[in-house]
Amino acid sequence: MGTGWDDRQERTRSDVLQAARELIAGGGVESLSMRRLAERAGVAVGTLYNQFGDRDGILVAFVSNGLDGLERSLDEDAAADPIDATRQVFEGLDATIASAIDVWKPVFAVITTSPDLAGMGAVGDRFVQLVEGDLGKAAAAGMFAKDIDVERLARHIFNTRIARLERWAVDSIDWDQYRDSSRLGLEITLAAVLAEPHATLAMQRSGLLT
């Protein structure tokens, strides 16, 4: 059980992230100044700097909060097959983004142009670990054709997905193109390393094999 101080900190964090969501939805990330955010959340500007550091820290916390929600939903509806669980992680990511595209798109557009947010930093590492855990279970179950480095595979899958998200965020591709190319890329990557019959199933899911 948290202390009263911990509870207040968590409420403040929740209020700040909700206020950030509203500001971004209304005017993009450009509207997310620390002063405006403090006014919207009803906290002191100093509190924001103490808890989040700067605007990039706010964005990282926002993305991290989205990952928290994704992990909770996955825990409630876990896939039995570890490869299906990997697919479920990325389907959940896309569903989270699709639920508030007007917020997530400008956030990813900033991530694209900010060296400090490349790969989403520690949040990206958390996501990779989530995928790596499922791939590790698949390896233990003998689902891969050969021994593979599951951490490198997880990192490759994640980086490829983020690169596509960034292209979508800057309007190089639309949402449907992002979704189609991401599903195709994931299934082809899995088919390249899975043992049968899982490799053929992945190719069938890609739509390239009927």
Nearest to 111, CA basis, from 64, 180, 50, 175: 64
Strand partners, 144: 194
Q: Does 200 have pLDDT greater than 90?
A: yes
Q: What is the pLDDT of residues 154-192, one digit of tens each?
A: 999 999 999 999 899 999 999 999 999 999 999 999 999
**CA dist., res. 48 & res. 41, Å (int):** 10
Alpha helices in the chain (DSSP H): 4-27, 34-41, 45-52, 55-76, 82-98, 101-113, 121-140, 150-169, 175-193, 198-206
Q: What is the pLDDT of residues 6-55, one digit of tens each?
A: 677 788 889 999 999 999 999 889 889 999 999 999 999 999 999 999 98
Given the structure tokens 């791939």, which residue do they identify?
135
Q: Does 210 have pLDDT greater than 80?
A: no
Given the structure tokens 């990779």, which residue do they identify?
128
Residue 2: per-residue pLDDT: 54
For 21, 81, 133, 139, 156, the CA distances from 106, given in Å and listed in that order, are 11, 34, 30, 37, 24
Radius of gyration of the CA atoms of the chain, in A? 19
Asked if 128 and 87 touch (Cβ cutoff 8 Å), the reply is no
- In the chain, the percentage of residues whose pLDDT exceeds 90 is 65
Q: Quick one: fold of 1-53?
A: Arc Repressor Mutant, subunit A (1.10.10)
DSSP string computed for 30-56 = GG--HHHHHHHHTS-HHHHHHHH-SHH
Nearest to 127, CA basis, from 100, 98, 162: 162
Q: What is the pLDDT of residues 53-75, one digit of tens each?
A: 998 889 888 988 888 888 888 88
Domain boundaries, the chain: 1-53, 66-206
Global pTM reads 0.86
- Average pLDDT of the chain is 90
Asked if 61 and 14 touch (Cβ cutoff 8 Å), the reply is no
Arithmetic mean of pLDDT, 147-156: 96
Asked if 173 and 165 touch (Cβ cutoff 8 Å), the reply is no
Residue 120: per-residue pLDDT: 66
Asked if 37 and 23 touch (Cβ cutoff 8 Å), the reply is yes
Asked if 62 and 142 touch (Cβ cutoff 8 Å), the reply is no
Cβ atoms within 10 Å, residue 176: 9
